[in-house]
Amino acid sequence: MKRVITYGTFDLLHYGHINLLKRAKALGDYLIVALSTDEFNALKNKKCYFSYEKRKALLEAIRYVDLVIAETSWEQKRSDMHQFCISTFVMGDDWKGKFDFLEEEGVEVVYLPRTPEISTTRIKEDLELLKNKE
């Protein structure tokens, strides 16, 4: 079985996220999503609209996702490759080159193009503009 893993925050889930998950799943038989916990997001200075538990429930409802695990640190990626017998590590191409070191663990590293017209950051910015117009 070819196992694929991707990592992310997946806040304000949108069709760009779904596109990424669909393309990641197409690279193997089993897709694991490592979801950043609220505590890990705080370390990254990120604030989510939805809690970890709600984001996890949303991801678990997506047919492309087979398993959701907690991402609690940057360092766990190396051990996850072995613990979950990963064949392919997938991230959006905005991270290109940042995780090539995982090839040393015998894992194929793939950077997929992002869906250009959508992002959580853009949604938050658009909502802020709407709020300020009121």
Residues involved in catalysis? 44, 46
Using CA of residue 13, residue 18, residue 23, residue 29, what is the dihedral sign? positive
How many Å apart are CA 10 and CA 58, to the nearest integer?
9
Q: Tell me 28's DSSP state.
A: S
**Please, how many CA atoms are within 13 Å of residue 19, restricted to the half-sphere of its CB?**
12
